[in-house]
Structure 1
Amino acid sequence: MVTNSGSWTGFLEKCHHLGYKESQEGVGTPERACALNHGNQKNHHGHGSGDLTQQLQPLRVVQLSDCHLFADTDGKLLGLNTQFSLDKVLELIRLEQPNPDLILATGDLSQDASFESYQRLDQALADFNTPVYWLEGNHDKPAPMLEALDTQRERMSPCVLEVGNWTIVMLDSTIPGEVPGELFDEDLKFLDQSLAHAKGDHLMVCLHHHPVPMECAWLDTQVVGSASQFFDVIDRHDRVRAIIWGHVHQEYDNERNGVRMLAVPSTCVQFKPKSEDFAVDDTNPGYRWLDLHPDGRIDTGVSRVEGITFEVDFTVKGY
C-alpha cells in the first residue's frame, strides 16, 4: 500500500477533475451521490435515491469490461478486432437484456486511450437508454475519457450511486501510467465514508483491478496493492453484499466472509485461467448480468457470444 506523502497527490490525480473537493480534514468527499433517475432517463421500478422503500423487483445490472477499443475500428488486440467483438457482445446484450436498469463499464475501455474510442462506446451504449457508470482501467486515460464523456462526469469513478435498496460505490483503482492496481489512503477513506453514509440497505463495490488472487500467476502480480487494507474497510461494513471487477479477462465467482466476489469476461480477448505465464484462452467474449434483489440477494451469470469463431493470435506472449 502507498502510505507516503504521495498518496494524497496520487488520489487527487485520480479524482480532483471529477468534481470532488478536499474537506477540512483533508479527505476527498463527494459533492453528490449519483442517482439512477436522471431527468428523463427511464426508471423501471419507480425508485431513486430519494425513496429507498419502493424497490419491488430486482435491479437488472449489466457489467461489461475490457473492450480495448482503438481510434481505428479496424484496430486489433492479439489478432482480434476489438470493435467487432464488442459489437457482437452488444448484440447479445440487446437480445438477452433489452431493458437493463443500469450498465457498469468497468475499465480498460480503450486500448489506445483515444477520444474516438470512448466516443464510439458512449454512442453504442446510449442505444440502451439507461444510465451507464464508468470505471477507468490501467489502459484508459482521464483526459480523453472525460472529453468524450463530458456530460456524464458524475457517472465516472470515484462516485456513489443510490438506487432502490442498494448503494453502489465506484472506486478508481488505477495508478497513472502503471499496470497494477492500488487504492491510496484517500481512496480507502472515500470508500469507508461512502459505505458508512450509504442510504441503501445493501452495498456493492466496483473497481477495475482484482482485490484477490485469481490463481493466475502472471496476473496476480497486478492485484490491488492495498488489498489487505481494502478488506479491512470492507469487513467493517456488514451491509456489503458484493465486490465486482474487470481487468482479468475471465469469469470468477467466489465468496469471502459472506461477500460475493465477481469478475467478468472481456468483450474481446480472454485470458487462460490458472496459467503461470501470459496465455490467451479460446473462450468467447461475453458480459455479466446481475439481479440485485430488494432483500440483498444476488442472482448473477455470465453470457458469451456463441456461433462465431473469433480470430485470436494464441502465439503472442503479452500485450
Structure 2
Amino acid sequence: MSLHSPDHRAIKLVQLTDCHLGQDDQFVLAGINTAESLKAVMSRLHGELADCDLLAITGDIAADGEAGAYRLFEQMLPTIPPLAWLPGNHDNFDVMQQVMGQPFQRVVQLGRWVAIFLVSAVPGQVAGKLAASELTLLEKLLAEYRNHHVVLFVHHPPTSVDCRWLDKQRIENHSSLHRLLQQADNIRGVFSGHVHQNYLSDWDGIPVYSAPSTCFQFAPASDDFELCRQPPGYRWINLHEDGCIETGVEFIDGNNWQADRHCIGY
C-alpha cells in the first residue's frame, strides 16, 4: 500500500491501541465501557483525521478475540484515513483476518517513510515473541527498504517500561530483534501497545515508544498489576522528510473515565 503526501508536509499518523472491545457496545471492563471510551477518543480526534495519513492500530482490539468485537470496531471508525492493524495477545489473529474489512498488511509506504507491522502475539500466551519467520521477513524488508526511513509497529514492547509485572511480558527474543535493527542505519523508531501507558526508552539510539490505551491505563512504575486515574488516550506521530519524528500523547477530558482500581486483572 502506498500513500503520498505533498512535499515538505509532515506525514501524520495516529496510533490507537488496546481498545478491548466486547461483542457489543454494552461491554464493560475494569469499570470502563470500552466502546464508549473508544467513541470518546474518536470524537476528540475528529478534527485531526481529515489531515491524517494513517491510523495505526497496535493490537488488543478485542477483549477476548470475538468476531463481534472486530465488527464493532470497524463500525466505529471513520472511512478516512487509511488503516493498518496488527493483533495483540487478547486478539484472535485468524478471526481478525476473516472478519476485518481492511486486510492485514505488513508494509505501508508513506513517501520517503515505510511503516512495518510486526506480529509479536503468540496464541494462548500473554507475553510477546517474534517467530523465526517474522524475523526473517523483517530482515528482508529492511534490506528492501534500506533507502527509506523506517518505523516499526508491534504490540509488545521490546524494551523495559519500568513496571516489573509488564517487563516480564516484553518481546521474549528482543535480543534477536535488537541485532537486526542495529545492522540497519535507517530505523527511526519503534511504536508499541500492550502496556496501557505513555513511555519512551532509548534502545541504543533507537527510540521505543508505547501508547496509552483507548480505555484505561496501567499505573507507571508498578511492581504488580495496578490501574491509575489517567483517562483514555492515543498517540500522534509526525514523520518529517529528513527522518525526524515528532510525537506525543493526548488524553480525553472529563472525570467519567475512572477505572475500577480494585480490579486485580482481566
What is the aligned partner in structure 2 of residue 290 from structure 1? 237
The alpha-carbon distance between structure 1 residues 271 and 64, as it changes in their structure 2 partners (threshold 3 A), is same
Tell me the secondary structure at the aligned position of residue 248 of structure 2: strand
Matched, 1:175 2:133: no
Unaligned runs of 5+ in 2: none
Looking at structure 2, the residues matched to 96 and 130 of structure 1 have their Cα atoms a distance apart, in angstroms, of 10
Corresponding residue number in structure 1 for 2:213: 266
Deviation string 1:35-68 (CA, Å, 9 cap, x unpaired) is 23xxxxxx5x25xxxxxxxx42110000000000
The separation in 1 between residues aligned to 2:9 and 2:48, in whole angstroms, is 18
TM normalised by structure 1 equals 0.80
Residue segments in structure 1 that go unaligned for 5+ positions in a row? 1-33, 37-42, 47-54
Residue in structure 2 matched with residue 63 of structure 1 by the alignment: 15
- Deviation track 1:212-240 (CA, whole Å, cap 9, x = no partner) reads 01110111110101001110000000000
Equivalences for 1:204-223 in 2 at 5 Å? Answer: 204-223=151-170
Q: Work out which of the residue numbers 77, 81, 85 in structure 1 matches 2:33.
A: 81
Which amino acid in 2 is paired with 1:61? L
Deviation at 1:97, TM superposition (A): 4.1
Rg (Cα) greater in structure: 1
**Alignment deviations for residues 77-102 of structure 1 (CA, whole Å, 9 cap, x no partner):** 11111011111111111134442111
1:231 aligns with 2:178: yes
TM-score, normalised on structure 2? 0.95
Q: Which residue pairs with 2:102 in the alignment?
A: 152
Give the residue type in structure 2 aligned to 1:133: A
1:281 and 2:228 equivalent? yes
Find runs of 4+ consecutive structure 1 residues off by over 4 angstroms.
Answer: none
* Other-structure match for 1:193: 140
Q: How many pairs align?
A: 266
What CA distance in whole angstroms lies between the structure 2 residues aligned with 1:124 and 1:61?
Answer: 18
Between the aligned partners of 2:200 and 2:64, the Cα distance in structure 1 is 30
Which SS does the other structure have where 1:188 is aligned? helix
Tell me the distance in 2 between the aligned counterparts of 1:276 and 1:256: 22
Deviation per CA, 1:281-307: give whole Å up to 9, x if none: 111110000000011011111000012
Percentage of identical aligned residues: 36
Q: What's the offset of the Cα at 1:199? A: 6.0
Paired with 1:238 and 1:200, the residues of 2 have a C-alpha distance of 10
1:128 CA drift (Å): 4.5
Please say if residues 167 and 200 of structure 1, whose CA atoms lie closer than 8 Å, have aligned partners that are also in contact. Answer: no
User: What does residue 2 of structure 2 align with?
Assistant: 35
Distance 2:146 2:172 in 1: 29
- Match for residue 250 of structure 1? 197
Q: Shift of residue 309 of structure 1?
A: 2.5
1:170, distance to aligned residue in structure 2 (A)? 0.5
Counterparts of 1:168 and 1:200 in 2: how far apart (Å)?
13
Coordinate RMSD, CA, aligned: 1.4
Seen in structure 2, the aligned counterparts of structure 1 residues 200 and 120 have a Cα distance that, compared at 3 Å, is farther
The DSSP-based 3-state class of the residue aligned with 1:222 is coil
